[in-house]
Amino acid sequence: MSDNLVAAKVKVNSLSVAEMFAQKVEMFRRVLGKMLGFTGYTIQYCCIAHCAFEYVGQLVVCSGPSMEPTIINHDIILLEQLSRHLYKIEKGDVVIAKNPFDPHMNICKRVIGLEGDKILSSGPSDLFKTYTYVPRGHVWLEGDNLKNSSDSRAYGPIPYALIRGRACFKVSPPSVHLIGQKVFSRDPMTMAREIRCFMKPRKTLKDISLWPPERFGTLKESPTGRIIKTESASDLE
Amino acid sequence: MLKTGFIRCVCVCVCVCVCVCVEEMARRAGRRYLRAFVSGFFVAVPVTVTVLDRLAYVARVEGNSMQPFLNPDGVSDCDVVLLNRWRVRNFQVQRGDIVSMVSPRNPQQNIIKRVIALEGDFIRTLGHKNRYVRIPDGHVWIEGDHHGHSLDSNSFGPVSVGLLHGHASHIVWPPNRWQRICPSLPPHRGPLHLDTTEEEEG
């Protein structure tokens, strides 16, 4: 009788050990399944984020004085990539491009000329004006702050494929501005020229559409075959 | 010139979505095929696009600027190469690598050439306006193996490393030309060293 009891107890114990083992395996499989599912979702969302940043738009923070007064140090700008992929970057657009001398750095400049355009390449102090043509597949970039900008005047036109996106909105506290809305300078001569070339009625925020983007204050065509460069508004350093 | 076939890849992943959707339809009642298609779309398309942008790319080589290494038969049978995009994510290349870049003359076209010299090297050019050129920072000098039939740095000068698209690592088609591409400089085409008076031969 006691032998039977002992045998029964041993059998029950071994069963419970097997059951425990099975339970542990089941738990492990559940945890593994959940982890795999989590990894799958993470990969999927990372890929969606990559596609959004690469093909739609992203936010970047600008630093440096070369685009003042349009973009001041530490402004946040919204880049849109659709213009770049559809090859619809136009003259007057503010673009972010890879630095041709250091592909890990980016530069933020304005497009002054596209391929085939004539650019005034002599400085303001030269006696005779000289012109260059932008070669095929390249763009000529210049910062708005001409006195403090290292751009195509120093290193020549850059290939179009280095452009990473077009800036369409600028966010600097406390309000949102459109890129290209000029801050009028105090110099009356510059003001007169700007009013002649760039003046457009100021629109309210609800008139702004993101696509197709409005281009305020940009020069679509050169009136006399000479690119008019913007003068720096003030010496904001 | 490089035919990248991006449209073809997108079509492939749309087919994948359709297959997933059809499978779901067969399994379920059939009313939820729209939801299955949408969920398949949002999984397959971003993953495929990200893999093509970041990891690897397959492209057909057209033209004879890299003969005799690539496309030795000319027009009859074009080589297909595997481009490793992960390797160039930090813009690191070696002399002798075969790389694909966006053409500086035409941003809609990719070109595949060999890297001859890196930044800081001096190079003797073939047909460039200057006889000797120092490669500026952040630029490389690329040349096709078939001199004279190649639109490369001898025409448009050093190209910026930011235009790098991918590193050609393997030839995958035709099957009799399966091989791994090893970096090698062609003979007599290499950077000059000013501290020695002789030319470095590849």
Q: Give the pLDDT of residue B7.
A: 56
Q: Write out chain B residues lying below 8 Å of A136, CB-based.
A: 105-106
SS (H, E, C) A78-126: EEECHHHHCCCCCCCCEEEEEECCEEEEEEEEEEEECCCCEEECCCCCC
Q: Give the pLDDT of residue A148.
A: 86
Q: Is the pLDDT of residue A172 over 50?
A: yes
Q: Give the pLDDT of residue B196.
A: 47
**CB contact set of B100 (below 8 Å; sequence gap of 6+):** B2, B59, B83, B110, B111, B112, B164, B165, B166, B167, B168
CA distances from B86 to A80, A164, A186, A220, B81 (A): 24, 19, 51, 39, 15
pLDDT tens digit string along B117-152?
Answer: 999 999 999 888 889 999 999 999 999 999 888 899
A121 pLDDT tier (thresholds 50, 70, 90): confident
The span from the CA of B112 to the CA of B169, in Å, is 12
pLDDT tens digit string along A69-101?
Answer: 788 888 888 888 988 999 988 888 889 999 999
- Mutate one of A41, A42, A44, A47 to test the B interface: name it (highest B CB count within 10 A): A47
Closest Cα in chain B, distance from residue A157 (Å): 11
Catalytic: which of A91, A109, A170, A182?
A109
* Parallel/antiparallel/unpaired status of strands A102-113 and A94-99: antiparallel
The span from the CA of A157 to the CA of A137, in Å, is 10
Planar angle of CA A137, A140, A143, nearest 5 degrees: 150
B202 pLDDT tier (thresholds 50, 70, 90): very low
Report the amino acid identity of residue A220.
K
ipTM above 0.85, yes or no: no
- Cβ–Cβ gap B160/A136 under 8 Å: no
- Pick from A51, A100, A101: CB nearest B50: A51
Q: Who wins on pLDDT, A13 or A237? A: A13
Q: Could you confirm whether A9 is annotated as catalytic? A: no
SS3 of residue B193 by DSSP? coil
CA distances from A38 to A32, A41, B38 (A): 10, 5, 20
Closest Cα in chain A, distance from residue B173 (Å): 29
Q: Who wins on pLDDT, A223 or B14? A: B14
Asked whether the beta carbons of B87 and B169 are under 8 A apart, the reply is: yes
- Pick from B43, B138, B163: CB nearest A159: B163
Chain A and chain B share a number of CB contacts under 8 A equal to 73
Q: Is the pLDDT of residue A199 over 50?
A: no
Q: Give the pLDDT of residue A219.
A: 31
Q: Is the pTM of this model over 0.90?
A: no
Distance of CA A174 to the CA centre of its chain: 21
**Both tokens assigned to A174:** 């406390």
End-to-end CA distance of chain A: 100
Q: Give the pLDDT of residue A203.
A: 43
> Does residue B160 sit at the A interface (CB-CB below 8 Å)?
yes
- Pick from B43, B50, B139: CB nearest A50: B50
Give the helix ranges, DSSP H, for chain A: 2-55, 82-85, 152-155, 188-198
- Pick from A99, A104, A162: CB nearest B163: A162
Q: Who wins on pLDDT, A16 or A190? A: A16
- Cβ–Cβ gap B46/A47 under 8 Å: yes
Asked whether the beta carbons of A178 and A219 are under 8 A apart, the reply is: no
**H/E element holding B165?**
strand B164-173
Report the candidate in A236, A147, A124, A226 with the shortest Cα–Cα distance to residue A183.
A236
Q: Summarize the confidence of residues A146-173 as an average pLDDT.
A: 87
- For chain A, counts of helices (H) and of strands (E): 4, 10
Distance of CA A157 to the CA centre of its chain: 20
pLDDT tens digit string along A176-186?
Answer: 555 544 443 34
Q: Could you confirm whether B113 is annotated as catalytic? A: yes
Give the helix ranges, DSSP H, for B118-165: 153-156
Q: Write out chain A residues lying below 8 Å of B86, CB-based.
A: none
